[in-house]
Amino acid sequence: MKFTEEHEWLRADGDVVTVGITEHAAEQLGDVVFVELPEIETMVARGDEVCVIESVKAASDILAPIEGEIVEINETLVDNPGLVNEDPLGDAWFFKLKVDDPSVLDEFMSEDEYKDFIG
Amino acid sequence: MAGLQHTVLFDLHQSLGAKMVPFAGYEMPVQYPAGVLKEHQHTRAAAGLFDVSHMGQILLRGPDVAAALEALVPVDLQGLPEGRQRYAMFTDESGGVLDDLMVANRGDHLFLVVNAARKAADLAHLRESLPESIQIEPLADRALIALQGPQAELALARLLPGVLEMRFMDVATLDWEGGAVWVSRSGYTGEDGFEVSLPEAAAVGFARALLAMEEVAPVGLGARDSLRLEAGLCLYGHDIDTTTSPVEAGLTWAIQKVRRKGGAREGGFPGAERILRELSDGAARQRVGLIPEGRAPMREGVELFDQEKGGDPVGRITSGGFAPSLEHPVAMGYLPKALCATGSRVYGELRGRRLPVTVAALPFRPANYRK
């Protein structure tokens, strides 16, 4: 698993990368009450706003960490947004991206590096 | 956090694991480890303890003090019996709202509780406007603790048995461990509950004694906001301010007949001309309840339209969010009179898209006061 400075986690399985948010991010957001997911087959560029998350406190975006095509979304989150707080690193993944070159993940942080990053 | 004041319960909040945020010049708990949703639900089901010591507490005394204060508010204070409290608002010359407050008749004086962000301005306003014969005494050394929820009475009565005798909006002086505490049966959550004003020296012990009870959990500003929103109550600086009149804000229930046109003490408060006119003829716009379709919360600042495409905004949302007890988003905002009927359809613009919003009756959730 790799981690971004935007508090997302990435897990590669071949050329498909699953994206979610970290425990730290979920805790900072507070109770999540709304999730808006992208459409399947959308091509996204790095930094594009892909999802909207609303907590009891505020709205925030999930940005596409890398370029790729959205091939799967986690519809469960639409009906059960609270899952983001319950299991951010597992069942509460947001979307899966098909990428040309999975080696782009190498530039992101390891778990230890991410822990240092959030202090 | 530099430059921010602390209430006397600050260390207690930290020991309870609160997340502290700046609010109205104070560092206050926005939530505890349970989180906003659970704190909200706990208050609706049992009893939530809130530190509201940042709010302003002011004593007024002097000859005909009720008549003197009536010159600043469109509310019947001369008719307020001893031992009772009333909701009021300071108005300005244009009929806007300078602050909303509680006024209690405590026998030989009036006791005011005002918003934290407005207390300096309110004090200046009182000093400028009241006759010299009225003493104005800001109470900087008292804490204010609210206990709200259906089990608030049960819990508080263990410390203060006298609360069992009180009904909604009663005030009383009760004894706790040899000291006098001032209690009102009121709050800002839509639940039965109490606010207790007590000397700072006694506040930590009092709060700890309540928190030790099974029914009581600490609740932060986050849930305080979602609770008052479901109850349809205005938040100063958001739903009401100097640009909104009490009539537009739907606070006409707080303006008693005696201060209205034809009443024995008609007018005689700042902005009376506009406010009395709006009471007779209606205001051009009104604060309404709004229910966005779907699950996406619409918050303060979202513009409202009367059509799905094109046109100018007809109003805006003044506060909104997710309503934990209703499990859908709710909001409040201002709309022109023609669009204010319950069931009217408008559109809120969210992230560039206009989504349907239905006008709904307030409160969103019926109040649970012990009248």
Express each pLDDT in B63-104 by its tens digit.
999 999 999 999 999 999 999 999 999 999 999 999 999 999
Nearest CA in chain A to B329: A33
Measured in angstroms, the CA of B37 and the nearest CA of chain A are apart by 7
B28 by DSSP, 3-state: which?
strand
Separation between Cα atoms, residue B30 and residue B105, nearest integer Å: 32
Question: What's the rounded mean pLDDT across residues A25-35?
Answer: 94
Query: Quick one: what percent of chain A has pLDDT higher than 90?
Result: 96
Cβ contacts of B351 on chain A, cutoff 8 Å: 52
Question: What's the rounded mean pLDDT across residues B295-314?
Answer: 96
| Burial profile A23-56: b = 16 or more Cβ within 10 angstroms, e = fewer | ebbbeebbbbbbbbbbeeebebeeeeebbbbbbb
How many C-beta atoms lie closer than 10 Å to residue B307's C-beta? 12
pLDDT at B223: 97
- A86 and chain B: CB distance < 8 Å anywhere? no
Separation between Cα atoms, residue A95 and residue B294, nearest integer Å: 21
Question: What's the rounded mean pLDDT across residues A4-30?
Answer: 95
Radius of gyration of chain A (CA): 13
| Burial profile B144-160: b = 16 or more Cβ within 10 angstroms, e = fewer | bbbbbbbbbbbbbeebb
Backbone angles phi, psi at A41, to 5 degrees: 75, 10
Per-residue pLDDT band for B34 (boundaries 50, 70, 90) equals very high
Specify the CATH architecture of the domain A2-101. Beta Barrel (2.40)
Q: Each residue of B254-284: pLDDT tens digit?
A: 999 999 999 999 999 999 999 999 999 999 9
pLDDT at B95: 98
B17 and B35 in contact (C-beta within 8 Å)?
no
B7 and B49 in contact (C-beta within 8 Å)?
no
Separation between Cα atoms, residue A78 and residue B297, nearest integer Å: 13
Domain boundaries along the sequence of chain B: 1-281, 284-371
CA dihedral B73, B74, B75, B77 (to 10 degrees): 50
Question: What's the rounded mean pLDDT across residues A74-91?
Answer: 96
What kind and span of H or E run contains B205?
Answer: helix B200-211
Look-up of token digits 């949302």 = B317
Q: Which of A54, A78, A85 sits opposite B297 (nearest CB)?
A: A54
Separation between Cα atoms, residue B224 and residue B116, nearest integer Å: 14
Separation between Cα atoms, residue B96 and residue B74, nearest integer Å: 12
Separation between Cα atoms, residue B229 and residue B29, nearest integer Å: 18
pLDDT at B207: 98
Separation between Cα atoms, residue A38 and residue B195, nearest integer Å: 47
Per-residue pLDDT band for A57 (boundaries 50, 70, 90) equals confident
pLDDT at B2: 74
pLDDT at B353: 94
For residue A47, pLDDT over 90 is answered with: yes
Q: Which of B30, B222, B297 sits opposite A34 (nearest CB)?
A: B297
- Which residue from B141, B159, B249, B151 is spatially nearest to B198, judged by alpha carbons? B141
Measured in angstroms, the CA of B320 and the nearest CA of chain A are apart by 10
Q: Hey, what amino acid is at B101?
A: L
Cβ contacts of B37 on chain A, cutoff 8 Å: 31, 33, 56, 82
For residue B245, pLDDT over 90 is answered with: yes
Query: Quick one: what percent of chain B has pLDDT higher than 70?
Result: 100
Question: What's the rounded mean pLDDT across residues B170-193?
Answer: 97
Average pLDDT, chain B: 97
Separation between Cα atoms, residue B313 and residue B285, nearest integer Å: 13
pLDDT at A14: 94
What kind and span of H or E run contains B353?
Answer: strand B353-360
Beta bridge partners of B287: B334
Q: Each residue of B75-85: pLDDT tens digit?
A: 999 999 999 99
Average pLDDT, chain A: 95
In CATH terms, is domain B284-371 a member of 3.40.50.150?
no
Nearest CA in chain B to A59: B297
Per-residue pLDDT band for A119 (boundaries 50, 70, 90) equals confident
Per-residue pLDDT band for A58 (boundaries 50, 70, 90) equals confident
Give the number of C-alpha atoms closer than 13 A to the C-alpha of residue A29, restricted to the C-beta side. Answer: 29
Question: What's the rounded mean pLDDT across residues B320-348?
Answer: 97
Question: What's the rounded mean pLDDT across residues A76-84?
Answer: 96
For residue B129, pLDDT over 90 is answered with: yes
Residue of A50, A52, A57, A85 to mutate, interface with B, max B Cβ within 10 Å: A57
Measured in angstroms, the CA of A70 and the nearest CA of chain B are apart by 21
Question: What's the rounded mean pLDDT across residues B358-362?
Answer: 97
Per-residue pLDDT band for B224 (boundaries 50, 70, 90) equals very high
Measured in angstroms, the CA of A59 and the nearest CA of chain B are apart by 9
Separation between Cα atoms, residue B101 and residue B236, nearest integer Å: 10
Per CATH, which fold does B1-281 belong to?
A: Gyrase A; domain 2 (3.30.1360)
Query: Quick one: what percent of chain B has pLDDT higher than 90?
Result: 98
Give the Å distances, CA to CA, from B354 to A70, B290, B336, B346: 25, 14, 18, 9
B361 and B342 in contact (C-beta within 8 Å)?
yes
Separation between Cα atoms, residue A94 and residue B100, nearest integer Å: 44
Cβ contacts of A56 on chain B, cutoff 8 Å: 35-37, 222, 226, 321-322, 324
Structure tokens belonging to residue B192:
């039965």
For residue B228, pLDDT over 80 is answered with: yes
